Amino acid sequence: MMRISIILASLIALNACSVGPDFQRPQTIAPTSFTRDAQLGVANSNTVSEVDLQWWKAYHSEQINQLVELALKNNPNIETASANLRVAQANVRAQQGLFFPAVSAGYNVSRQNVGPILQPSINNQVDPLYNLHTAGLTVGFAPDIWGGNRRQVESLKALGNAQSYQLAALQTTVANNVVATAIQEASLREQLKAVRELAQASKEQLEHARRLRAAGYSSSVDLAVQESLYAQAVSQVPTIEKAREQSLNLLAVLCGKMPNESLLLPKIEDIQIPSPLPTALPSKFVEQRPDVKIAEEYVRAANAQIGVAVSNLLPQFSISGNIGSVATMFSDLSNSANSVWGVMGGVTQPLFQGGSLFARKTAAEAGLDAAMGQYKSTVLSAFQNVADTLYALEADGKYYKTALDNEKSNQHIFEQSDRQLKAGYISESAALLNKQTYLQARINSLQAYATYLGDTTALYQSLGGGWTPETSTIYKQ
């Protein structure tokens, strides 16, 4: 009895450990700043502002809010990611089932002929033909002595977490694409109005030039110049029309709609620049991006696979038992005299498998190296993404301010020249030229505004889009 107790205690102690390396979170050395410019993108403890989970509301557009909510609800890619998450979670539950004994019930009936020699010793009857009924329960259990199954569960949990983070990343990307596309469409819609006005003004200018040429007041070169300007203005119309229609199609598909379905769209003047824009500390930045967390979970999964491979090199234990009843008559199965039972324990030690088990261990170790390399690459790309966005915000913000100032100046010139034309102080040609200059400045300003707003959406996404690990359904490792 003492020996049995010692054996059981030893098995329990062994069952509490897991072979293979324990997971160590990858360490990254964060820079002091996202960019080379000390004044660009640097945040300190007094200026850091967390990204709101519903960051798109910072644009103060009810139409954008509705579009994002519609996309998060109906986008088929999000539906696919949600299903993949459920698959990963079910795989974890399936693997955890191996921690428990497998119990099965069975019933078999057979018709046999044992011949006249064996017949008396089996069923004590003259007839060698008889029926045999067997019913019982079978219990099988493989103790996880070396922790191989625990490591496998750990690996599957990590993959489940990665899928959860993948869903969060996709939701952030979809929201970003919806906002960026809605901004682009609103800008193109206004650009289209300005381009059509520009084409009409160029047409009037061309007609005026033709009248001057017919009257002998201008040369053929002057007329050709106006024809060229008119052609340039008209050529912008189909280009912007195409871009706008493609934006509408993309926006519909992002929202889970067919391209021919209509959506409630914002006006460009109703979309505000978020203020203040979010900032982040480089040292805490990697906690905010789901793609970095995905890469970390892949490292965890690969690390656990080493333990799985090591456990396969060690002895494998098994325990099984059965209890039931055997009778020649079904009604006799409940008779205790027909009860049968058995218990068996075993151990198997792999001796030679052509080197496959060692090769799998080597492959698992190489898999960890690959996952670590991918993690480092993901972190570097994440910092690059933020740096690129910050530089784009700086440059495009300056360009937008210049373009807006240019639009306002040319608008003032156009309005003044229009009044002077009505008063007879300037020619129709000069007024039309000022109008065309203003309209082109208006188009440039709209493009610059859309680009700058697009940079702000890119900043929200580069900082994680408001996502945090607490907002995801993850396994606590």
Position 125 pLDDT exceeds 70: no
Torsional sign, CA 452, 457, 458, 464: positive
pLDDT confidence tier of residue 213, bands split at 50, 70 and 90: confident
Q: Which of 42-56, 253-267, 325-339, 463-477 has the lowest mean pLDDT?
A: 42-56
What does the alpha-carbon distance between residue 167 and residue 86 come to, in Å, rounded to a whole number?
Answer: 11
Position 11 pLDDT exceeds 70: no
DSSP state of 313: T
Round the average pLDDT of the chain to a whole number and report it. 87
Q: How far is CA 41 from the centre of its chain?
A: 25
What does the alpha-carbon distance between residue 224 and residue 212 come to, in Å, rounded to a whole number?
Answer: 12
Closest CA to 194 of 448, 452, 441: 441
The strand pairing partners of 141, in sequence order, are: 319
**Helix/strand/coil for 105:** strand
Higher-pLDDT residue of 457, 431 = 457
CA angle 186, 189, 192 (to 5 degrees): 150
pLDDT confidence tier of residue 190, bands split at 50, 70 and 90: very high
For 223-249, what is each residue's pLDDT tens digit? Answer: 888 888 889 889 999 999 999 999 999
Is 44 exposed, middle or buried (CB count within 10 Å of its CB: 0-12, 13-18, 19+)?
A: exposed
The CATH superfamily holding the domain 17-471 is Outer membrane efflux proteins (OEP) (1.20.1600.10)
The strand pairing partners of 112, in sequence order, are: 130
Q: Using alpha carbons, list the distances in angstroms from residue 399 to 143, 180, 181, 274, 275.
A: 68, 19, 21, 18, 18
Position 472 pLDDT exceeds 80: no
Per-position DSSP letters for 37-68, written without gaps between them: STTSS---TTT--PPPTTGGGGG--HHHHHHH
**Helix/strand/coil for 468:** coil
Q: Using an 8 Å Cβ cutoff, are 266 and 186 in contact?
A: yes
Rounded mean pLDDT, 372-390: 94
Q: Report the percent of the chain where pLDDT is more than 70.
A: 91
What does the alpha-carbon distance between residue 41 and residue 54 come to, in Å, rounded to a whole number?
Answer: 22
Q: Using alpha carbons, list the distances in angstroms from residue 96 to 13, 101, 155.
A: 20, 11, 12
Q: What is the pLDDT of residue 118?
A: 54
Rg (CA), the chain: 38
pTM of the shown model: 0.86
Q: Which of 375-384, 425-434, 457-466 has the lowest mean pLDDT?
A: 425-434
Q: Using an 8 Å Cβ cutoff, are 477 and 300 in contact?
A: yes
Strand ranges, E, within 102-211:
102-113, 129-141
Task: Cis check for the bond before 26: say yes or no (omega within 30 of 0).
Answer: no
Q: Using an 8 Å Cβ cutoff, are 64 and 179 in contact?
A: yes
pLDDT confidence tier of residue 119, bands split at 50, 70 and 90: low
What does the alpha-carbon distance between residue 218 and residue 223 come to, in Å, rounded to a whole number?
Answer: 7
H helix runs in 56-147, sequence order: 62-74, 76-96, 115-123
DSSP state of 27: P
For 383-434, what is each residue's pLDDT tens digit? Answer: 999 999 999 999 999 999 999 999 999 999 999 988 888 888 888 888 888 9
Domain residue spans in the chain? 17-471
The strand pairing partners of 344, in sequence order, are: 320
Position 121 pLDDT exceeds 70: no
Q: What is the pLDDT of residue 160?
A: 95
Which amino acid type is present at position 24?
Q
Q: Using alpha carbons, list the distances in angstroms from residue 320 to 1, 22, 135.
A: 20, 31, 17
Length of the chain: 477
Name 93's Cβ contacts closer than 8 Å, sequence gap at least 6. none
